[in-house]
Amino acid sequence: MSYYQPPSRPGSPRPLRTLGLVLGAVLATVLLGFAFLVAATPQSVPGHAQLSLVQHSGTGQQVAAPLSTQAIANKVNPGLVNINTTLGYRGQQAAGTGMVLTPNGEVLTNNHVVAGATSIRATAVGNGRTYGATVIGYDRTRDVAVLKLDGASGLPTVPLGDSSRVAVGDSIVALGNAGGAGGTPVPAPGKVSALNQSVNALDESTGNTEQLSGLIQVSANIQSGDSGGALAGSTGRVIGMTTAAATGGPGGEGGGIGYAMPINQALSVARQIVSGAASETVHLGKSAFLGVAINDSVSGAVIQQVVAGGPAAHAGIAVGDTLTTFDGHAVDSASTLTGLMDRFHPGDKVGVGWLNQAGHERTATVTLAEGPVG
């Protein structure tokens, strides 16, 4: 993690990430689960050589008789988990959803559900047990993460469908940890209203932006906490992973418009993660940590806070200094630093440069620590 978001107050709810959605000439605002910002470290993860999934690839959603909303929920809910995270450096907690892919507890979710977490716990809807969880890997740019539930076995998995067969007008049911309430997810029925949508994401707490594309747009009551949950088709097979919702409803409700990542796209990333194939965007294992909070300004990457006892503090970096270089590369913003940090892992030594408040240039070599999830 390149830096952390300072807490507003102990126990405060994690802020929502907003998205600007561009649909032709229409500009709307949408919410995406919970805020995120962390840099990761690519490293190999033993013991996860292959992700074997049974994925239905019929000729359409209506091959089998459509099920009732409750029947779909009964079919999908046992394979869901309610995720709760502690954001230690922010003094906050957050909640989301995940989908069980394998009986031994490999779970698919959005990266933003677990980003910034210093601990993760997941309660399986199917058996009611709560497990500690570790992150196998994640892709921040495509907002996908895969978790491993500690000590899990014999878990029911979600029934997987084929998102390439989805059409506008198809009936859907969204299932997730709405509002972070826990327990058995309450179904949110709706329809597919558009395909292949793109959203520009803005994290209001950090100012970072990203684009997600190829999303399924639905008319359904998506809420905060639903992120990482299941979007099921009329036959009860998962065709998408709930990722975003339009603003407008009270209490984090989505105002009736939601967005899901096609399940084929999400599973492609998940398979890459579980196979241990790191790339420019896929990061495996633990995250590196410099220990500074950065405030982007016209004068550059100004240090807002420094974690006591962290690598930056040991180097002599102080609040009010301006970070200028990392590993020999120029740093002009928080997002630039996060991208540079992706190349490193805990224990790596790296050169940093900064300008102190007196205007003097300083350099040091720091040993990166282990930080929160990316």
Residue 180: pLDDT over 60: yes
Whether 117 and 240 map to the same domain: the answer is: yes
Residue 185 vs residues 77, 113, 146, 263, 340: alpha-carbon distances, Å: 7, 17, 21, 19, 39
Mean pLDDT of 110-119: 92
Kindly report the CATH number assigned to the domain that includes residue 219: 2.40.10.120
Which of 2, 163, 205, 227 does the annotation list as catalytic? 227
Whether 116 and 53 map to the same domain: the answer is: yes
Whether 199 and 301 map to the same domain: the answer is: no
Which of 48, 112, 283, 345 does the annotation list as catalytic? 112
Which of 139, 143, 203, 226 does the annotation list as catalytic? 143
Residue 204: pLDDT over 70: no
Kindly report the CATH number assigned to the domain that includes residue 318: 2.30.42.10
Q: pLDDT per residue over 264-318, tens digit each? A: 999 999 999 999 988 888 888 888 899 998 887 767 799 999 999 999 999 999 9
Q: What is the pLDDT of residue 11?
A: 32
| Residue 70 is assigned to a structural domain of this protein | yes
Q: What is the pLDDT of residue 258?
A: 93
Whether 182 and 159 map to the same domain: the answer is: yes
Q: What is the pLDDT of residue 40?
A: 27
Domain finish residue from 268, 283, 298: 283
Q: pLDDT per residue over 317-335, tens digit each? A: 999 999 999 999 999 988 8
Domain finish residue from 222, 252, 283: 283
Whether 256 and 116 map to the same domain: the answer is: yes
The mean pLDDT of the chain is 82
Residue 32 vs residues 18, 20, 65, 265, 346: alpha-carbon distances, Å: 6, 10, 33, 18, 29
Confidence band, pLDDT 50/70/90 cuts, at residue 246: confident
Give how many domains the chain has, as a whole number. Answer: 2
Whether 171 and 313 map to the same domain: the answer is: no
Q: Which of 27-31, 179-183, 201-205, 267-271 has the lowest average pLDDT? A: 27-31
Q: Is 112 a known active-site residue?
A: yes
Question: Hey, which of 8-12, 51-55, 307-311 has the most confident mean pLDDT?
Answer: 307-311
Q: Which of 36-40, 92-96, 222-226 has the lowest average pLDDT? A: 36-40
Q: What is the pLDDT of residue 153?
A: 97
Residue 14: pLDDT over 50: no
Whether 239 and 298 map to the same domain: the answer is: no
Q: What is the pLDDT of residue 344?
A: 86
Whether 297 and 214 map to the same domain: the answer is: no
Residue 108's closest CA among 339, 265, 222, 277? Answer: 265
Q: What is the pLDDT of residue 49?
A: 47
Which residues are CB-neighbours of 194 under 8 A, at least 6 positions away?
A: 23, 168, 216, 217
Q: What is the pLDDT of residue 56?
A: 61
Whether 269 and 301 map to the same domain: the answer is: no
Q: Are strands 12-13 and 92-100 parallel, antiparallel or unpaired?
A: parallel
Q: Which of 75-84, 102-111, 149-158, 199-208 has the lowest average pLDDT? A: 199-208
| Residue 5 is assigned to a structural domain of this protein | no
Q: What is the pTM of this model?
A: 0.81
Q: Do residues 374 and 38 lie in contact, with contact meaning Cβ atoms separated by under 8 Å?
A: yes
| Residue 67 is assigned to a structural domain of this protein | yes
Domain containing 46 equals 17-283
Domain finish residue from 244, 261, 283: 283
Q: Is 143 a known active-site residue?
A: yes
